[in-house]
Structure 1
Amino acid sequence: MARTIVFHGDYFMDFYKGLDPKVKAKIQFVLELIKQVDRVPVKFLAPMAGYDGLYEVRIEYQSNIFRIFCCFDEGRLVVLFNGFQKKTPKTPKEEIEKAMRLKNEYFNYKK
């Protein structure tokens, strides 16, 4: 029942490379959870309401909040897009728009 995680472009890795090692460890923990747990708690993975098929991976480390946008493909494949550090209660619209653009790009490329 394991899921496979793939990256679309370098967006996620560009974000990931600049992070503190302890934040990277927390992200790896959450991604492993997503890969292995059948019902991932909404605390770690949640759908973005109003954005068809877009999800956000949620990571909290100390008082910092990080988000990574993703979608599912073929049920068991999780495609990671852009990530960012969340500094306001609302998710920045430009980050959501970028994720939707990358999601559409991914599925168009796949055709």
Structure 2
Amino acid sequence: MRWTVETLEVVDAEIAALPPKLQARLLRLMEMVENVGLDRIHEPHVKHLEGKLWELRAKAAEGIARGIYVAVTGRRVVVLHVFVKKTPKTPKQALELAWERMKQVDQ
């Protein structure tokens, strides 16, 4: 069974708002999850944050972007929030938003 990567509708807009090279890098990471499998991808591409939350880590000349996601039943990855990272730690507001959006996901 293959892995699938889904995004919430609001996340599509967040991805579209990223600078072009960061957007391309993040989309490539999502494709890599589908093609290779989440279980075969490790740091620096993915990193555990807290609880069920993990992040896809994209880096380009334009900066750093993160996609916070949750892995759910059936080899599904749901991206909950995407943002440009400007501080060393993932902002608390980004984590809170991801936790809130996770309530919409059918697990």
TM range (shorter): 0.7 to 0.9
Gaps of 5+ in 1: none
Amino acid at match of 2:2: A
Are the equivalent residues in 2 in contact too, given 1:3–1:76 (CA < 8 A)?
yes
1:44 corresponds in structure 2 to 45
Distance change (3 Å), C-alpha of 1:12 and 1:45: same
Are the equivalent residues in 1 in contact too, given 2:18–2:84 (CA < 8 A)?
no
SS class of match (2:104): helix
Aligned residues: 105
User: Could you tell me how far 1:16 is from its partner in structure 2?
Assistant: 1.1
Amino acid at match of 1:18: A
Amino acid at match of 1:33: M
Amino acid at match of 1:25: A
2:88 corresponds in structure 1 to 89
User: Could you tell me how far 1:64 is from its partner in structure 2?
Assistant: 0.8
Render the CA deviation track for 1:28-81: whole Å, top value 9, x for unaligned: 211111112231022111111xx2111111100126111111101114100011
Are the equivalent residues in 2 in contact too, given 1:11–1:83 (CA < 8 A)?
no
Are the equivalent residues in 1 in contact too, given 2:58–2:65 (CA < 8 A)?
yes
Identity, % of aligned pairs? Answer: 28
Q: TM-score of the superposition, structure 1-length normalised? A: 0.84
Q: Which has the larger radius of gyration?
A: 1
Are the equivalent residues in 1 in contact too, given 2:57–2:67 (CA < 8 A)?
yes
Q: TM-score of the superposition, structure 2-length normalised? A: 0.87
Runs of 4 or more off by more than 6 Å in structure 1? none
Cα RMSD (Å) of the superposition? 1.7
Distance change (3 Å), C-alpha of 1:75 and 1:44: farther
1:13 corresponds in structure 2 to 12
Are the equivalent residues in 1 in contact too, given 2:55–2:69 (CA < 8 A)?
yes
